[in-house]
Structure 1
Amino acid sequence: MRALIIGATGAVGRDLVQLLIHDDSFEEINIFVRRDPNIKNEKVKVHVVDFDHPDNWRLLVQGDVVFSCMGTSRRAAGSKDAQYTVDYTYQYQFAKTAVEQGVKAYILVSSAMANPDSLFFYTQMKGKLERAINQLPFQQISILRPPSLIRKDSTRLNEKIAVAVLQFFNRFGLFMSQRPMKTETLAKSMVSLAKSGKSGVFGTQEIFSLDE
């Protein structure tokens, strides 16, 4: 298979790239990034693009499956509008371009509690993206809604605290549906879905099961 990845430089994306490099089912990995991540592997093709100008890169979107794990925080983006541009506009534009170019499968990392009618900005944004993606004519659409993620070498204090609190309660069998997940586990489940061709929405328990 030929993979297309956006969000390849993030925590999940980095794990995903490494898994695909070592997976013989994938002969080509095309990553679309804003800055060169300096990945040296014969299977990996790096496309440094400006996501604001899809006409300049749309013909490069050639493959079998899109893995979309792009995302940012409001703090990193600088504002709600800037975060929306990355988490919704860029991802939807890439998906729309991919289906126009004949790509058959789309695998999206969304968020727990994603809902277009949510009162909260982040989960509403993710829900709107899910709804928009589901309206595109892909043969396979797989949406993953992971819980809090355990990122390698994370410097996000709030994230570390949330993970620690949940892990404490998990020891007593509480909040198991929200137990933190390693980014590698999420990446493995994405690869599994690409191979199975299974569509649907996958929550915490289903994602853990896909990695077994």
Structure 2
Amino acid sequence: MKKTAIILGATGLTGSIILEKLLSDSRYKTIKLFSRKRIKGLPGKVVQFTGNLLELEKFKSDFKADEIFCCIGTTTKKTPDKTLYKKIDLGIPVAAAKLAKENGITTFLVVSTLGANANSRIFYNKIKGEMEKNVLTTKIEKTHIIQPSLIGGNRKEQRILEKIGLFVFKLLQPLFFGKLKKYKITEAKDIAQAMLNLANSTTTEQIIKSEKIKELTLN
């Protein structure tokens, strides 16, 4: 039986790649997108629901699928207000996990970050750590939390300083081996493929470290 997938964050770098992959994957009959605004030019296989994702529970009756791919995330540049930042990066994934549990969705995949720790003094790592902790407490049967390092890829809104930073970081990649291997840039296309492979696997591994993401693209 063909499946239905939900994507949260389909306009972002990783989410947009997952959308492309699901569109061409014959195992999926329907793709549901939940976002603030519609994406134009998508085929009939895609059903779009637009509204305020900070009130995700209002979508409960439509929030039904076999799998959820959660790629929600903001930046301090876009969202300087820490309270709002927390509502997005922590609140939306946790709300999605709770709805998934209530609606009997058994597969939940979410993008976090390397170094996520609920006790961290670093705001970003702390938020992601709290998100992971809360998602796991929902006890969804098949939960996969992806922890990439710095994410590489062609961003629509990539700024000049960000481009320079990624360029310099790429030059340093040959130095990252052994214990430093986990800090290598994680390509968005690899995250997307790893998530898709995980969704269609029997593995029960919950935390996927950055250094294993590339390996999972080969399965």
TM range (shorter): over 0.9
For the residues of structure 2 that align with 1:157 and 1:120, how far apart are their CA atoms?
Answer: 24
Structure 1 SS opposite 2:10: coil
Q: 1:170 to 1:91 in 2, by over 3 A?
A: same
1:209 lines up with 2:211 in the alignment:
no
Alpha-carbon separation, structure 1, partners of 2:109 and 2:148: 13
AA at the equivalent of 1:70: I
Aligned residues: 212
- Aligned pairs for 1:36-185 within 5 A: 36-153=38-155, 154-174=157-177, 175-185=180-190
RMSD of the TM alignment (CA)?
A: 1.5
Alpha-carbon distance in structure 1 between the residues aligned to 2:175 and 2:147 = 24
Q: 1:68 & 1:197 partners in 2: Cα distance?
A: 19
Q: Partner amino acid for 1:203?
A: K
Between 94-103 and 11-20, the greater mean CA deviation after superposition: 94-103
Q: Offset of 1:137 from its aligned partner?
A: 2.5
Structure 1 runs of 4+ with >4 Å offset: none
Deviation at 1:173, TM superposition (A): 4.7
The structure 2 residue matched to 1:187, chosen from 180, 188, 192, is 192
Aligned sequence identity (%): 24
Using structure 1 for the length normalisation, give the TM-score: 0.94
Alignment gaps of 5+ in structure 2: none
Greater shift, 94-103 or 176-185, is seen at 176-185
C-alpha displacement of 1:172: 4.0
Q: What amino acid sits opposite 1:202 in the alignment? A: I
How far does residue 160 in structure 1 lie from its aligned partner after superposition? 2.4
Cα distance, 1:161 vs structure 2: 3.1
1:112-163 CA-to-partner distances (Å, cap 9, x unmatched) read 1000011100000000000000000211010000011112145234432332
Whole-angstrom distance in 2 between the partners of 1:105 and 1:85 = 23
Q: Contact 1:52–1:90 at 8 Å: present in 2 too?
A: yes
1:129 aligned partner, one-letter code = M
**Partner-residue secondary structure (3-state), 1:106:** strand
Q: Distance in 2 between matches of 1:95 and 1:173?
A: 34
Task: Flag structure 1 segments of 5+ consecutive residues without an equivalent.
Answer: none
The letter for the 2-side match of 1:13 is G
Structure 2: which amino acid aligns with 1:60? D
C-alpha deviation, 1:94, in angstroms: 1.6
2:29 to 27, 30, 35: 27
Normalised to the residue count of structure 2, the TM-score between the two structures is 0.91
Aligned 8 A contact 1:142 1:201 in 2:
yes
